[in-house]
């Protein structure tokens, strides 16, 4: 699909039956975005079945304070997703967290990411979480530009282990997300 192709994509709350579609987007997007950042053997060893099983658990649990959204084509193909809920490391400033956001490469840069962030922000506000942070791989520069495009400020950093390699992450924070949800 060329960069100018118009796509009719809807954003909706994920159902348990979306676990396989979400896993496909997550693994395919990891592979297309993280090559050169995350060890190749780790990327090639990722299992669609294991990933689907984890999403199946999340979607079956269906926590009231956690949201999973999918971006879906008119042909019912999941091409992106995002999830969010309470911040997970007891941060005293940032109450909500964008846990994940992934869009298949051929659907990137069509404002789907922006639409997903708006939808997650609205949900976080609706459950009383009025600020947000997220973690991104330090060398994932395109995504960092994306977060900076709507005012994210670098607020923390840490190293994590992925596939046996120590990889740096940075956190972006928004002290209020009222304007993101507009
Ligand atoms: C990061 C991601 C979610 C952004 O979603 P998207 O739909 O591609 O981005 P949008 O079209 O909503 O972009 C909105 C704005 O963000 C900025 N932006 C987005 N992608 C960018 C890029 N690759 N380079 C520079 N700026 C970018 C631009 O300002 C863009 O506005 P513009 O297109 O009018 O210039 C998506 O590209 C993606 O899934 N990337 C791979 C996976 C990933 O890294 N996920 C994040 C893990 S923390």
Query: How is 66-120 classified by DSSP, letter by letter?
Result: -EEEEEEETT--EEEEEEEEE-SS--SS--EEEEEEEE-GGGTTSSHHHHHHHHH
Give domain status of residue 147, yes or no: no
Of ligand 1's atoms, which has the minimum distance to the CA of residue 115?
12
Domain that holds residue 92: 9-129
Task: Flag whether 24 is in a domain.
Answer: yes
Q: Name the pTM for this structure.
A: 0.96
Q: Write down the pLDDT at residue 5.
A: 52
What pLDDT does 174 receive?
98
Residue 119 lies in a domain: yes
**Cβ(26) to ligand 1 under 6 A?**
no
What total of structural domains would you count in the chain?
A: 1
Q: Is 102 close to ligand 1, i.e. is its CB under 6 Å away? A: yes
Among protein residues, the one whose CA lies closest to atom 32 of ligand 1: 109
**pLDDT at res. 4:** 46
Residue 123 included in any domain: yes
The verdict on the CB of residue 140 being under 6 Å from ligand 1 is yes
Q: Which atom of ligand 1 is nearest to the CA of 33?
A: 41
> Does 2 reside within a domain?
no
* Summary count for the chain: helices (H), strands (E): 5, 7
| Nearest CA residue ID for atom 15, ligand 1 | 146
**Protein residue with its CA nearest to atom 43 in ligand 1:** 102
In a domain, 174, yes or no: no
pLDDT 10s digit of each residue in the chain, 182 long? 555 455 699 999 999 999 999 999 999 999 999 999 999 999 999 999 999 999 999 999 999 999 999 999 999 999 999 999 999 999 999 999 999 999 999 999 999 999 999 999 999 999 999 999 999 999 999 999 999 999 999 999 999 999 999 999 999 999 999 999 88
**Position 62 in a domain:** yes
Where residue 38 sits, what CATH number does that domain have?
3.40.630.30
In a domain, 84, yes or no: yes
């Amino acid at each position: 699909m060329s960069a100018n192709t118009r796509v009719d994509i809807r954003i909706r709350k994920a159902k348990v039956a979306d676990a396989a579609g979400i896993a496909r987007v997550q693994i395919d997007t990891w592979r297309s975005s993280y090559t050169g950042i995350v060890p190749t053997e780790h990327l090639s060893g990722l299992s669609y079945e294991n990933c689907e099983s984890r999403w199946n658990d999340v979607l079956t649990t269906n926590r009231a304070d956690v949201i999973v959204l999918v971006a879906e084509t008119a042909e019912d193909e999941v091409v992106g997703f995002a999830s969010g809920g309470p911040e997970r490391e007891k941060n005293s400033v940032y109450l909500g967290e964008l846990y994940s956001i992934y869009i298949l490469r051929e659907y990137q840069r069509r404002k789907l990411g922006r639409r997903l962030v708006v939808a997650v922000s609205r949900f976080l506000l609706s459950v009383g979480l009025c600020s947000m942070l997220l973690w991104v791989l330090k060398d994932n520069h395109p995504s960092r530009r994306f977060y900076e495009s709507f005012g994210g400020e670098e607020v923390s950093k840490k190293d994590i282990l992925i596939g046996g390699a120590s990889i740096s992450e940075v956190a972006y924070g928004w002290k209020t997300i009222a304007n993101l949800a507009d």
